Amino acid sequence: MNKIYGSAAEALDGLLFDGMFIASGGFGLCGIPELLLDAIKQAGTKDLTFASNNAGVDDFGIGILLQTRQVKKMISSYVGENKEFMRQYLSGELELEFNPQGTLAERMRAGGAGIPGFYTKTGVGTQVAEGKEHKDFNGETFILETGMFADLSIVKAWKADETGNLIFRKAARNFNPPAATCGKVCVVEVEEIVPTGSLDPDHIHLPGVYVHRIVQGEHEKRIEQRTVRSREDAQ
């Protein structure tokens, strides 16, 4: 079974539909599936629900889909770097479901493991807990969170072999592995594809059984907040 596709658009062919639920990997601007997000923009798919730690910035990451009004709802932990996100939410144009980062990652991981729900202390006594089932264990209160089951997972990895075994780099490993597992179909963009058998099995972060389609491409290395010293201060 060939999992390698020639472009992001080809890798998404036949998978996109209006109103779908997409789990997207990445942390800040690190390890975001930028090629696949651009292909979704070009496809014009709309009324999308995205589960992602954040929404990128105004002109990069999921931010490009907010600009084109293709996103109906965001399930996120952090939204502070995107002015268009803030504007749409405050004006009532965008639905928002806040999840603590650990809870969001675990909801994705649980979905990938076939677990429909789990209890956590995170959020007890806050707005996060409103409307959720509470249960006491050993004298402490927990809230019920549901596993996440997406129509599509889009993630970015550093290396893949031809069967889809993946290696992530550094902070890109935070949300990409759990996001990859919770979709009915997982499409991965990578910087390099290597022959099957060339990856050390002990170094593989996600086995290829979770991966359905792979595309290789060039990626932009953006910095979210660039802070530099003046030449005078550096001296």
* pTM of the model as a whole: 0.92
Average pLDDT, the chain: 94
Confidence of residue 56 (pLDDT cuts 50, 70, 90): confident
Is 80 exceeded by the pLDDT of residue 234? Answer: no
Other CB atoms closer than 10 Å to residue 94's CB: what's the count?
20
Is 80 exceeded by the pLDDT of residue 140? Answer: yes
Pairing of the two strands 4-5 and 213-216: parallel
Give the span between the Cα atoms of 144 and 51, in whole angstroms: 18
Average pLDDT over residues 10-34: 95
Tens of pLDDT, residue by residue over 29-51, are 889 999 999 999 999 999 999 99
Distance of CA 74 to the CA centre of its chain: 11
Helix, strand, coil percentages for the chain (3-state, nearest 5): 25, 30, 45
Q: What is the DSSP letter of 45?
A: -
Give the span between the Cα atoms of 87 and 191, in whole angstroms: 34
User: How would you class 28 by CB atoms within 10 Å of its CB: exposed for 0-12, middle for 13-18, buried for 19 or more?
Assistant: buried
Average pLDDT over residues 180-208: 97
Is 80 exceeded by the pLDDT of residue 91? Answer: yes
pLDDT recorded at residue 232: 76
Is 70 exceeded by the pLDDT of residue 15? Answer: yes
> Ramachandran region of residue 28, left (φ > 0), alpha (ψ -120 to 50) or beta?
left
Is 90 exceeded by the pLDDT of residue 5? Answer: yes
Phi/psi of residue 35, each to 5°? Answer: -70, -40
Give the span between the Cα atoms of 159 and 203, in whole angstroms: 11
pLDDT recorded at residue 218: 87
Which residues fall within 8 angstroms of residue 223, CB to CB, at 6 or more apart?
A: 29
pLDDT recorded at residue 233: 73
Q: Is 4 helix (H, G, I), strand (E, B) or coil?
A: strand
Average pLDDT over residues 205-209: 97
pLDDT recorded at residue 235: 67
Give the span between the Cα atoms of 141 and 39, in whole angstroms: 44
Tens of pLDDT, residue by residue over 124-137, are 999 999 999 999 99
Confidence of residue 75 (pLDDT cuts 50, 70, 90): very high
Ranking 59-63, 202-206, 227-231 by mean pLDDT, the lowest is 227-231
Give the span between the Cα atoms of 62 and 71, in whole angstroms: 9
Is 80 exceeded by the pLDDT of residue 55? Answer: yes
Average pLDDT over residues 41-65: 93
